[in-house]
Amino acid sequence: MIDRARAQILSLPRRYKQAILVVFDFFALCLSLWAGFSLRYDGFYFPGTVGQIWVIVSAPLITIPVFIRLGLYRAIVRYLPERAMWTILRAMLLAVMVWVVLIFLSQIAFHIVVPRSVPIIYLGIGTFIIAGSRFAAKWAFLPHFDKKLVEQKAVVIYGAGDAGLQLAQSLRSTHRIAGFLDDNRLLHRREIGGIKVYAPERLGDLASEYGVSDVILSIPSLTAQRRKEIVASVGTYGLKIRALPSIVDLVTGKYLVSQIKEIDVVELLGRSSVPPDPTLIRQLVVGRSIMVTGAGGSIGSELCRKIALWKPQRLVLLEANEFALYQIEQQLAEVPDLIVVPVLGSVADPTRIDEALRRNDVQVVFHAAAHKHVPLVEANALEGIKNNVFGTATVAESAFAQGVEHFVLISTDKAVRPTNVMGATKRWAELIVGDVAARAGERGTGQQFCAVRFGNVLGSNGSVVPLFKKQIANGGPVTLTDAAMTRYFMSIEEAAELIVQAGALSRGGDVFLLDMGEPMLISELAENMVRLAGLTVRSEANPGGDIEIVVTGKRPGEKLYEELFYDASSAQVTEHAKIMRAASREVPVDISTSLAALSSALEANDEARARHILFELVAATG
């Protein structure tokens, strides 16, 4: 019966509940003041005149508007935080002060006498009754299974639109909602669905008053730049920021509270995505036998996952690392009607490459196998040259001999005016593919050989993102090589899609450049990742921050900034908005002769000579 009565009261409209509170407070405050007079006179006090009745009634008439102004009737009693006690005390103090002034004026005008101790007694009793009734109701109306909610962290919803209101209604059963934040000034200080809307600048006050730890972004149409600004502002308070799923899920009603996701740093790149062109995809992938070298790597595995969705006839996975090959094969095994052929072997093994291409009648090759970690390749130059230069030469020559129709080399922005061995080897790889493309053109085979050059992909093996995540999880510090260092970034998913489409645009010998947008400061990336973790950056301006960012100095061969073009002004547009074509350049050297010299240095294990030959060719073609 008690549970039924409680449920009926809880089901009342919010306005009715607020009215009940106002009526209760009116009589409770009258009772408090009457008790104050009774205690002062040490006996039952009976107001016998109109003036004495006015004195008692005036107290709640003054106090209730103060309660309304300080938001005591906006709070949901069931989820009232303990710190609300101080709000009640503050409201009572302010109301008593105003009441005392009114009574003082009444004494002058109407000769009404109120002992000086009565306001003090009224303050104590009134605070006790108002606060006690609130917390008693909180425990009475909060079901036993819901009492854990009191200990849960409160959340703020950024965005007071339809999506935010739906989210609030979904969260109310499991979370405490401290309020909405919205950029629209017209909504500030209003209530939507019983929840007050605040200016974003009030977030700090909400965090301290309600113990907010999470801000949920509920503006599906938000631009990447504005999202970036919001993350930065929320991060200054040390709060964690999460987001709703895509607008498609919102429109179809598919989102649930459990689907609220962490904002990924990929979303802060400020890039506008372009849907893949189905014509280009069909042209290169659908119904074809495709081989991906380095299939277990970060780029290679993402390429495989994308290609698998576009219905190739067969997908051949070439990988030197047994465990990496096993992992990607297991992932692709879940794709229906896909023939997957795992090939364990090195790109530097011509016999193995020839056999894989011939046996599987491969028509398209994506050459992603490479050693890419700059410091490691710098410290192991001969191995880097063997894998990146001669591995590319082996795969390209074998593809040429076996009649492969399309060959796509995955290159890097580090190949432009390289200062390290890794970049130089990738420049050699571009030149080797260009040389094979020229021979294919001379013989009229119709084979298309090209390279696709782009910058860093977030989340790839060896990238700064996993390193920063680990350092943040360990409590810092986050290490930077140089505070002014910039890099181009894109998501690994977008890179894989663009690589495939660039291959379909090839006319032979092309070097395609993916539109990477504007370069990002690595220091800014680190700060964003700290904020996304719900932490603050420790600095001179904020010595009490959580994570320190430390500059360690540039590593050997590392550039302060990277370039995508040798000559940016000569870049040509293509049919795809995110893909450009570098202007063709005459190569004033004989690649085969240079390869023979480099091979001789490798056989002699002469690293100094190999480095000299490596960079000499790069300088001659720059």
Do 597 and 450 lie in one domain? The reply is yes
Domain that holds residue 72: 2-146
What pLDDT score was predicted for residue 259?
A: 47
Select, from the ranges 165-174, 231-240, 292-301, the one with the highest average predicted confidence (pLDDT).
292-301
* Of 426, 392, 424, 436, residue with least CA distance to 613: 424
Q: Tens digit of pLDDT for each residue in 445-500? A: 999 999 998 877 765 655 677 777 788 777 778 888 777 777 767 778 888 888 88
Is the per-residue pLDDT at 145 higher than 90?
A: no
Percent of the residues in the chain that have a pLDDT greater than 70, as a whole number: 79
Is the per-residue pLDDT at 148 higher than 70?
A: no
What pLDDT score was predicted for residue 492?
A: 80
Would you say residue 268 lies in a domain? no
Handedness of CA 486, 487, 488, 490 (dihedral sign): negative
Q: Are 245 and 217 in contact (CB under 8 A)?
A: no
Residues ≥6 apart with Cβ < 8 Å to 68: none
What does the pLDDT average to over 284-292? 92
Do 199 and 340 lie in one domain? The reply is no
Q: How many whole angstroms separate alpha carbon 613 and alpha carbon 35? A: 99
Select, from the ranges 79-83, 124-128, 440-444, the one with the highest average predicted confidence (pLDDT).
440-444
Please provide the average confidence, as pLDDT, over all residues in the chain.
79
Do 411 and 547 lie in one domain? The reply is yes
What does the pLDDT average to over 506-517? 81
State in Å, rounded, how far the first CA of the chain is from the last one. Answer: 87
Alpha carbons within 13 angstroms on the beta-carbon side of residue 112 total 22
Percent of the residues in the chain that have a pLDDT greater than 90, as a whole number: 24
Would you say residue 443 lies in a domain? yes
Given the DSSP bridges, would you call strands 579-581 and 510-514 parallel, antiparallel or unpaired?
A: antiparallel
Query: How much of the chain is in helix, strand and coil states, percent to nearest 5?
Result: 55, 15, 35
Grouping H, G, I as helix, E, B as strand and the rest as coil, residue 338 is coil
What pLDDT score was predicted for residue 409?
A: 95
Is the per-residue pLDDT at 316 higher than 90?
A: yes
Residues ≥6 apart with Cβ < 8 Å to 481: 522, 551, 552, 553, 554, 555, 558
| Residue scoring higher pLDDT (545 or 85) | 545
Do 482 and 363 lie in one domain? The reply is yes
What pLDDT score was predicted for residue 53?
A: 77
Do 523 and 398 lie in one domain? The reply is yes
pLDDT tier at 177 (50, 70, 90 boundaries)? confident
What does each C-alpha distance from 159 to 13, 244, 385, 497, 544 come to in angstroms? Answer: 24, 11, 53, 32, 30
Residue 414 is encoded by which pair of tokens? 């580090």
What does each C-alpha distance from 444 to 44, 176, 248, 409 come to in angstroms? Answer: 114, 70, 48, 21
For the beta carbon of residue 240, count every other beta carbon within 10 angstroms. 20
Phi-psi region of 564 (alpha: psi -120 to 50; beta: other; left: phi over 0): alpha
- When mean pLDDT is compared across 78-92, 304-318, 571-585, the lowest value belongs to 78-92
Q: Which of 146, 171, 200 is the last residue of a domain?
A: 146
Q: Are 212 and 152 in contact (CB under 8 A)?
A: no
Would you say residue 239 lies in a domain? yes
Do 526 and 405 lie in one domain? The reply is yes
Would you say residue 576 lies in a domain? yes
Do 237 and 342 lie in one domain? The reply is no
Q: Which of 232, 263, 294 is the last residue of a domain?
A: 263
Do 197 and 285 lie in one domain? The reply is no
Residue whose tokens read 């003082």: 104
Would you say residue 273 lies in a domain? no
Is the per-residue pLDDT at 397 higher than 70?
A: yes
Would you say residue 269 lies in a domain? no
What DSSP letter does each residue of 417-434 carry, written as one string?
Answer: S--SHHHHHHHHHHHHHH
Do 136 and 168 lie in one domain? The reply is no
What pLDDT score was predicted for residue 248?
A: 46
Do 180 and 306 lie in one domain? The reply is no
Q: Tens digit of pLDDT for each residue in 41-76? A: 777 777 766 667 777 788 888 888 887 877 776 665
Do 133 and 193 lie in one domain? The reply is no
Residue 188 is encoded by which pair of tokens? 């500030």
Q: How many whole angstroms separate alpha carbon 438 and alpha carbon 285? A: 24
Query: In the chain, how many domains are there?
Result: 3
Q: Tens digit of pLDDT for each residue in 216-262? A: 888 766 776 777 778 777 777 777 777 766 544 444 444 444 445 55
Q: Tens digit of pLDDT for each residue in 417-458? A: 888 899 999 999 999 999 999 999 899 999 999 999 887 776
Would you say residue 270 lies in a domain? no
Q: How many whole angstroms separate alpha carbon 414 and alpha carbon 409? A: 14
What pLDDT score was predicted for residue 520?
A: 75
What pLDDT score was predicted for residue 421?
A: 92
Residue 272 burial (10 A CB sphere; 0-12, 13-18, 19+): exposed
The 3 state secondary structure assigned to 499-547 is HHHHHHCCCCCEEEEECCCCCEEHHHHHHHHHHHCCCCEECCCCCCCCE
What pLDDT score was predicted for residue 329?
A: 93
Q: Which of 207, 230, 263 is the last residue of a domain?
A: 263
Residues forming beta bridges with residue 490, ordered by sequence position: 457
Indicate which CATH number applies to the domain containing 570: 3.40.50.720
Would you say residue 271 lies in a domain? no
Is the per-residue pLDDT at 348 higher than 70?
A: yes
Do 217 and 81 lie in one domain? The reply is no
Q: How many whole angstroms separate alpha carbon 393 and alpha carbon 599? A: 12
Is the per-residue pLDDT at 111 higher than 70?
A: no
pLDDT tier at 108 (50, 70, 90 boundaries)? low
Residues ≥6 apart with Cβ < 8 Å to 206: 156, 178, 179, 198, 212
For the beta carbon of residue 599, count every other beta carbon within 10 angstroms. 17
Q: Are 232 and 528 in contact (CB under 8 A)?
A: yes
Q: How many whole angstroms separate alpha carbon 622 and alpha carbon 418? A: 10
